[in-house]
Amino acid sequence: MSDSDDNANNLPDGQMENGHISVDSQFNFSRERHSGTNQASDQFDIDLPTSHRYLGKLDNVTGYTFYDDGEVATLAAIQTNTLVFPGFTLPLVLNNDLEINMLQRHTSKKNAFVLLTPDKTFKGFFTYGVIMEIFETHLRNSVLYLKARSRQRCRLVPGKEIKTLIGDLYQVTVEVMLEPPPTSPLCNTQLNSLKIRKLFNCTEYREFYKYRKFRLFHLSQFPLASWVYDKHEICFLHHKLVNALSNYYLIEFIPDDPVQLSYWFVQNFQLRHEERLRIMVLRTAVERLRLELKYLNMKRLICCAKCDAEIAQHSNVFPMSKDGVQSNYCNPEGYVFETVTVSKATNFTLFGSPSAQFSWFPGYSWTIMHCKMCSSHLGWKFSSVNLKPAVFYGLAKSGFDIKIVKEESEVL
């Protein structure tokens, strides 16, 4: 069985052929998912993948030590080829008895470990990582199933040894990095006479827009044009990014909170690994949103990592999970795949028969996808006889690269 597939009938509901989402379709999509009609029962429930039901029933674990800004902690660390930002979930499967014992011993008190991120060459560790909270775990037939949620960003303390415990398990010393509260570039330099009328610490774009006139009066005392200061307001950046993203994603899934949005973007927008690392370094949401707006204006293609063959267009990306278009899933061997869901794909062949075993999307069977040109592994085709969409594709991040086709002029 082999063929490329670009059948428009495979597009999920709510998405037009060009991959953009019409306003009418957004409402239909939302209505169908939430109504109790027979038709609604056929629509795939996007809450299911985030629960990682394929891991079976796990036991809840409670208790997480929230670290202060700058606090130094020595914790167990796990290396995967994936990258997780605060608020997102990582499933893990451990098959090795020694690794299981070691991890349990090092996480029994704090229920936390550090997730190490590969550097841009994928040969070493990146200086920045995240502290993960274990919230569900279960040992079944000598296999440890585990779910962890990313809680706080951290960086490796320079000069401290990364000690190998066993296999991909390490012990590291990290410094915790908390998000500083967002501030306006003008909040400390306002004229007293104008302060009475309105503080310029705007957190909502509507407010920012409403008091534009007073803002201009105030800004006349500074040498630069007013738009320079505008572009450093978090509500301005948030509004601009949400507006641009609503062309690609359903607005109901885009976070309202600017900090969460800056993380959500990395998890959902198709970025090159080095671009994601660059965002990971940035300390504040304002800096991240500014860089993300720049990345958003670059036209991108999803290509085979080995031979560069075009696999999908960026507009074909769509969410099959509440976490967004890109989530981490684990196979029975314990390998974590960061997977992007697309409605259409091209230049691939299918390998083997469809299987429903350990399916990350309940109700769907998966078939392995290989590149038509170089036969490297690309991901999986998911198909269902009674769910909508009937067919979609899960592309493994390890199998593809993002090619920047054309750099648009910068908006910021």
Binding residues for Zn ion (CB under 5 A): 304, 306-307, 309, 371, 373-374
Q: Retrieve residue 100's tokens.
A: 């299981």
Identity of the residue, 131 or 378, whose beta carbon is nearer to Zn ion in the bound complex: 378
Which amino acid type is present at position 359? S
Q: How far is the CB of 312 from Zn ion (least distance, A)?
A: 13
Q: How far is the CB of 140 from Zn ion (least distance, A)?
A: 37
Q: How far is the CB of 373 from Zn ion (least distance, A)?
A: 5
Identity of the residue, 184 or 398, whose beta carbon is nearer to Zn ion in the bound complex: 398
- Cβ atoms of 329 and 351 within 8 Å: the answer is no
Identity of the residue, 61 or 374, whose beta carbon is nearer to Zn ion in the bound complex: 374
- Cβ atoms of 216 and 227 within 8 Å: the answer is no
- Cβ atoms of 117 and 136 within 8 Å: the answer is no
Separation CA 164–CA 116 (nearest Å)? 13
Q: How far is the CB of 14 from Zn ion (least distance, A)?
A: 31
Q: How far is the CB of 307 from Zn ion (least distance, A)?
A: 3
Q: How far is the CB of 348 from Zn ion (least distance, A)?
A: 9
Separation CA 261–CA 265 (nearest Å)? 6
Identity of the residue, 289 or 378, whose beta carbon is nearer to Zn ion in the bound complex: 378
Identity of the residue, 237 or 378, whose beta carbon is nearer to Zn ion in the bound complex: 378
Separation CA 132–CA 407 (nearest Å)? 35
Identity of the residue, 74 or 346, whose beta carbon is nearer to Zn ion in the bound complex: 346
Helix (H) or strand (E) holding 10: none
In 3D space, the residue among 334, 286, 395 whose CA is nearest the CA of residue 146 turns out to be 334
Identity of the residue, 149 or 377, whose beta carbon is nearer to Zn ion in the bound complex: 377
Q: How far is the CB of 355 from Zn ion (least distance, A)?
A: 23
Q: Retrieve residue 220's tokens.
A: 């006349």
Q: How far is the CB of 311 from Zn ion (least distance, A)?
A: 8
* Contacts of 249 by beta carbon, 8 Å cutoff, 6+ apart: 21, 268, 319, 324, 325
Identity of the residue, 115 or 303, whose beta carbon is nearer to Zn ion in the bound complex: 303
Q: Exposed e or buried b for every residue in 40-69, given b needs 16+ CB within 10 A?
A: eeebbebebbbbbebbeebeebeebeebee
Separation CA 169–CA 164 (nearest Å)? 6
Which amino acid type is present at position 158? P
Would you call 18 helix, strand, or coil by DSSP? coil
